[in-house]
């Protein structure tokens, strides 16, 4: 996922591509795989989250960021988790620095206010998702990946803040009403895109599905909603069937990649060419509308 728009990164990529086998880059992941994590629940959860990011970057050939996340994973595994990445460590677009600075302040305040004890797993997810957001925003050429990391951060922070909120005072005198069933909460959303008139899983889609599968396990999902869509090229009846095949293809891939088989958790919804992400005239091809949305519910 690392962009090569930065001239220094282009040089590094050329050098590393020539001498990768001699250990220029991508070797930190191998070291991190050998580490036995220890420490608090937060440290061990952070190790798993950073390892997930490192593995995904390695699969995409971004050895620089794979190393970055692997090193942070090892720090976490040793019981000395790093702070959320500082803004100055990334060459961020000016338009997004304010939003990221506010998010980092919010995250640091939560971590300092005992989030690591009261919501260890979600606090770790918030930190790793923030660092993922920073990395993707620096590259600034994969809007879906930027949006996914940001959405994961927002969802995790909402859960963390809920855990840190003071308990509401009990109402005096009145007899207690029956406790309502706890509402399910959205934990994360992923989007898998498809080639035209195809339900085949591409390499890029496989990486997203792998990340979603790990998130399903780590978040102990109660439900996974798979919504299938198509663009508006072709007959509506055919597109309903194609959308169904796409949703089932993602379900099959998730069952392969997830530690926990999710067939019993999954709910498939088929929209075909309805509710398109990008509104178009009938008959128009659009790659953003050829998708399956994965919604993970805690």
pLDDT at position 217 is 81
Structure tokens at 98: 């304010």
Q: Does one domain contain both 144 and 223?
A: no
More confident residue, 184 or 53: 53
Q: How confident is the model at residue 184 (pLDDT cuts 50, 70, 90)?
A: low
Helices 120-139 and 41-59: angle between axes, nearest 10 degrees: 30
pLDDT at position 147 is 92
Q: How confident is the model at residue 12 (pLDDT cuts 50, 70, 90)?
A: very low
Q: What is the DSSP letter of 195?
A: -
Place of tokens 């997004």: 96
Contact 70, 32 (CB under 8 A): yes
36 within domain boundaries? yes
Q: Does one domain contain both 143 and 204?
A: no
Instruction: State how far the alpha carbon of 259 is from the alpha carbons of 77, 171, 220, in Å.
Output: 21, 44, 11
How far, in Å, CA of 79 to CA of 58, rounded?
A: 24
Q: Does one domain contain both 25 and 150?
A: yes
Tens digits of residue pLDDT in 203-220 = 888 888 888 888 888 788
Instruction: State how far the alpha carbon of 222 is from the alpha carbons of 186, 215, 243, 272, in Å.
Output: 10, 12, 24, 25
pLDDT at position 179 is 54
More confident residue, 10 or 160: 160
Q: Does one domain contain both 31 and 134?
A: yes
How far, in Å, CA of 215 to CA of 255, rounded?
A: 13
Q: Does one domain contain both 54 and 85?
A: yes
Q: Does one domain contain both 63 and 139?
A: yes
Determine how β-strand 186-193 pairs with β-strand 223-229. Answer: unpaired
pLDDT at position 9 is 45
- Dmax of the chain from CA atoms? 75
75 within domain boundaries? yes
Tens digits of residue pLDDT in 276-294 = 999 999 999 999 999 999 9
Domain of residue 82, residue span? 21-164
Structure tokens at 152: 């994961």
Q: What is the CATH number of the domain that holds 249?
A: 3.30.1330.60
Structure tokens at 188: 């994360």
Q: Does one domain contain both 192 and 225?
A: yes
**Over 50: is that where the pLDDT of 233 sits?**
yes
- For 239-276, b/e burial (b = at least 16 CB within 10 A) is bbebbbbbbbbbbebbeebbeeebeebbebbbbbbeeb
Q: Does one domain contain both 218 and 129?
A: no
Percent with pLDDT over 90 in the chain? 61
**Over 70: is that where the pLDDT of 174 sits?**
no
H helix or E strand, kind and range, residue 254: helix 236-257
Q: Does one domain contain both 159 and 192?
A: no
179 within domain boundaries? no
171 within domain boundaries? no
pLDDT at position 262 is 76
Instruction: Provide the sign of the torsion angle of the four alpha carbons 241, 247, 253, 259, taken in this order.
Output: negative
7 within domain boundaries? no
Structure tokens at 277: 């992400």
71 within domain boundaries? yes
Number of structural domains the chain divides into:
2
Entry pTM: 0.54
Q: How confident is the model at residue 100 (pLDDT cuts 50, 70, 90)?
A: very high
pLDDT at position 24 is 58
pLDDT at position 165 is 87
Q: How confident is the model at residue 169 (pLDDT cuts 50, 70, 90)?
A: very low
85 within domain boundaries? yes
Q: Which of 164, 194, 219 is the last residue of a domain?
A: 164
Q: Does one domain contain both 158 and 26?
A: yes
Q: Does one domain contain both 141 and 193?
A: no
Beta bridge pairs of residue 227: 269, 293
pLDDT at position 222 is 87
pLDDT at position 210 is 84
**Over 50: is that where the pLDDT of 20 sits?**
no
**Over 50: is that where the pLDDT of 247 sits?**
yes
14 within domain boundaries? no
Q: Does one domain contain both 199 and 160?
A: no
The sheet with strand 266-272 has its strands ordered as: 186-193, 291-297, 223-229, 266-272
pLDDT at position 140 is 95
H helix or E strand, kind and range, residue 131: helix 120-139
């Amino acid at each position: 996922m690392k962009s090569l728009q930065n001239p220094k990164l282009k040089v590094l990529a050329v050098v590393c591509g020539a001498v990768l086998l001699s250990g220029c880059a991508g070797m930190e992941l191998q070291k991190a795989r050998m580490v036995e994590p220890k420490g608090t629940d937060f440290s061990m959860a952070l190790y798993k989250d950073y390892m997930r990011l490192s593995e995904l970057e390695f699969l995409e050939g971004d050895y620089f960021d794979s190393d970055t996340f692997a090193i942070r994973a090892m720090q976490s595994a040793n019981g000395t988790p790093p702070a959320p990445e500082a803004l100055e460590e990334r060459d961020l677009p000016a338009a997004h620095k304010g939003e990221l600075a506010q998010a980092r302040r919010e995250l640091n305040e939560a971590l300092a206010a005992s989030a690591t004890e009261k919501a260890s797993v979600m606090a770790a997810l918030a930190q790793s998702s923030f660092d993922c957001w920073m990395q993707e925003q620096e590259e600034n050429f994969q809007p879906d990946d930027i949006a996914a990391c940001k959405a994961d951060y927002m969802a995790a922070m909402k859960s963390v803040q809920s855990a840190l909120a003071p308990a509401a005072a009990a109402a005096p005198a009145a007899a207690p009403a029956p406790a309502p069933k706890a509402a399910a909460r959205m934990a994360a959303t992923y989007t898998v895109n498809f080639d035209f008139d195809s339900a085949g899983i591409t390499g890029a889609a496989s990486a997203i599905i792998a990340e979603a599968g790990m998130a399903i396990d780590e978040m102990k999902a109660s439900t996974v909603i798979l919504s299938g869509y198509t663009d508006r090229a072709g007959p509506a009846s055919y597109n309903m069937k194609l959308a169904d095949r796409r949703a089932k293809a993602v379900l099959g891939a998730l069952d392969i990649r997830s530690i926990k088989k999710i067939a019993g958790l999954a709910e498939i919804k088929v929209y075909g060419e309805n509710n398109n992400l990008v509104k178009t005239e009938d008959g128009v091809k659009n790659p953003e509308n050829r998708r399956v949305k994965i919604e993970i519910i805690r």
